[in-house]
A and B are shown apart, each in its own frame.
Chain A
């Protein structure tokens, strides 16, 4: 393949991955999934009933992997029946999103019903209003992952079948989303009642903020807030993973010679070193900007 064509396809994949990452994180915020949901689950037990959608179908990687694998399988079947690519990917994503919506509703109803003893009400308006948003976000995530997988198989000639690639990227996007954007939801949005940067004292567990900017807080409010930072950074993270992991093998094409293959490995090592240095710079800047949380007892004793 022409290097320029390869780079164009990679750019398209990176763009799709960025959108997928952002929508994956916002889907987990509006429905409350993954690790921060432990606090939403805990709140009624600590006598803090709330109006937040509570769906933890599973960890984000398995739930996204299931969604993307379903979409990939349906799309592959339709492509085998000579359907157009756009139709096949759209119908596949739609089926996956609807199934995800079914899981979301059953998960939410089951969790809230189990908290009946703590007097946590089941708000049907929350179910009716939030579920379509969850389905819409999961549709965007799935179709973007299917576009990435389809381009990898058909244009870049990746040996894995489409559903398996969709499955693996589903695992990866879930891992990225629960590691990056969810922190903004779990550590900041849920606990805006404590001072910024104070960390979360274990004694505050379950005491999540339940009042919104207007009225009582729900999943929409969380999605609105996280769309300002958590969602975009997740998008950047997944976009970088897809782009950089493909870039090294596209620019340094190992099919031309083994030496080019080793150059791609070297390029990858250099990228990792740059990222590690960047991380160190952030660490030093944070230490200097925020300072310590407590006095240095050792220094006082020595003085």
Chain B
């Protein structure tokens, strides 16, 4: 019989920090400039794919680099930083090559339809939006926002994985890695999906008015990840 209360009390720090990791992931998704199907047809600013898809792609690449680092060091700061860097490299490369596709393959100029001037470069945006579209490609503000989103998502994913790995249990090391990594991937997906309801298909980055809705998603993620963390601690701690 598993001592559920005992397992939870012994690992209460893990429960709280896994929840924090989930909240970070949820917040990070709002930074990622995605335009969904319209962006794939150069009808909207952002990357032409879905919110969950890109956030998960970046965050899980961060999870791979974080796990590599955790295999050789116990420093949590180093593990979190590696997770952030892995995710930031993935999203930076994807956005840059996406920019190649738009500029050289499609012939469109990067522009935002949500702001008249780019908040970072102060470049005029509205004149570069083609007729009948909501902007296209990735202006600098969206690119920077995407890097921030990737970094936060990577930190969140690495934090979830780290605190799942240090739960007290009697599993062999290889099996612990297997079950902790599957839980980490699952918790990542839960928190990548929740913000989709705020974003509704397209968001340009932190300058988009939809970004202000993030507290709703963060609170929902807090509740959802808390239950995921409890289940993770009981499942791993009870084995």
CB neighbours (8 Å) of A205 from chain B are 41
Q: Smallest distance from the beta carbon of A277 to chain B beta carbons, Å?
A: 10
CB neighbours (8 Å) of B138 from chain A are 279, 283
Q: Smallest distance from the beta carbon of A283 to chain B beta carbons, Å?
A: 5
Q: Smallest distance from the beta carbon of B113 to chain A beta carbons, Å?
A: 11
Whether a CB of chain A sits under 8 angstroms from the CB of B24 is: no
- A175 in contact with B54 (CB, 8 Å): yes
- B110 in contact with A283 (CB, 8 Å): yes
Determine which of A157, A161, A240 lies in contact with B93 in the assembled complex, contact meaning CB atoms within 8 Å: A240
Whether a CB of chain A sits under 8 angstroms from the CB of B220 is: no
Whether a CB of chain A sits under 8 angstroms from the CB of B42 is: yes
Residues facing B in A254-303 (CB within 8 A) are 254-255, 258, 261-262, 264-265, 268-269, 271-272, 275-276, 278-280, 282-283, 285-287, 290-296
Q: Which of B14-22, B80-88, B204-212, B225-233 contacts A (4 or more CB under 8 A)?
A: B80-88
- A39 in contact with B128 (CB, 8 Å): no
Q: Smallest distance from the beta carbon of B127 to chain A beta carbons, Å?
A: 4
Contact mask for chain A residues 13-33; partner B; CB cutoff 8 A; 1 contact, 0 none: 000000000000000000000
Closest Cβ neighbor of A189 among chain B residues: B105
Q: Smallest distance from the beta carbon of A165 to chain B beta carbons, Å?
A: 7
- B107 in contact with A197 (CB, 8 Å): yes
A249 and B66 CA atoms in complex are apart in Å by 10
CB neighbours (8 Å) of B89 from chain A are 241, 244-245, 248, 268, 271-272
A271 and B110 CA atoms in complex are apart in Å by 22
Determine which of A245, A248, A279 lies in contact with B143 in the assembled complex, contact meaning CB atoms within 8 Å: A279
CB neighbours (8 Å) of A222 from chain B are none
Determine which of A230, A245, A280, A286 lies in contact with B103 in the assembled complex, contact meaning CB atoms within 8 Å: A286
Task: Identify whether the interface residues of B are mostly helix, strand, loop, or mixed.
Answer: helix
Determine which of A158, A244, A268 lies in contact with B68 in the assembled complex, contact meaning CB atoms within 8 Å: A158
Question: When A and B form their complex, what is the total count of cross-chain residue pairs whose Cβ atoms lie within 8 Å?
Answer: 294
Count residues on chain B whose CB falls below 8 Å from chain A CBs: 81
Q: Which 5 A/B pairs are nearest by Cβ-Cβ distance?
A: A175-B57, A197-B107, A201-B132, A199-B130, A268-B85
Give the A-binding residues of B (Cβ under 8 A).
Answer: 36-37, 39-43, 47-50, 52-54, 56-58, 60-61, 63-65, 67-73, 75, 78, 81-82, 85-86, 88-90, 92-110, 121, 123-124, 127-133, 136-140, 143-144, 147, 174, 177-178, 181-182, 185
Pairs across A and B, CB under 8 Å, 29 listed = A160-B181, A164-B185, A171-B53, A171-B57, A172-B57, A176-B90, A176-B94, A178-B50, A178-B53, A180-B94, A180-B98, A183-B42, A183-B102, A183-B105, A187-B108, A191-B41, A197-B108, A203-B132, A237-B93, A241-B61, A241-B93, A245-B90, A261-B75, A265-B82, A268-B88, A276-B147, A283-B110, A287-B110, A293-B130
Give the B-binding residues of A (Cβ under 8 A).
Answer: 34-36, 38-39, 59-61, 156-161, 164-165, 167-168, 171-172, 174-176, 178-184, 186-188, 190-191, 196-205, 229-230, 233-234, 236-237, 240-241, 244-245, 248-249, 253-255, 258, 261-262, 264-265, 268-269, 271-272, 275-276, 278-280, 282-283, 285-287, 290-296
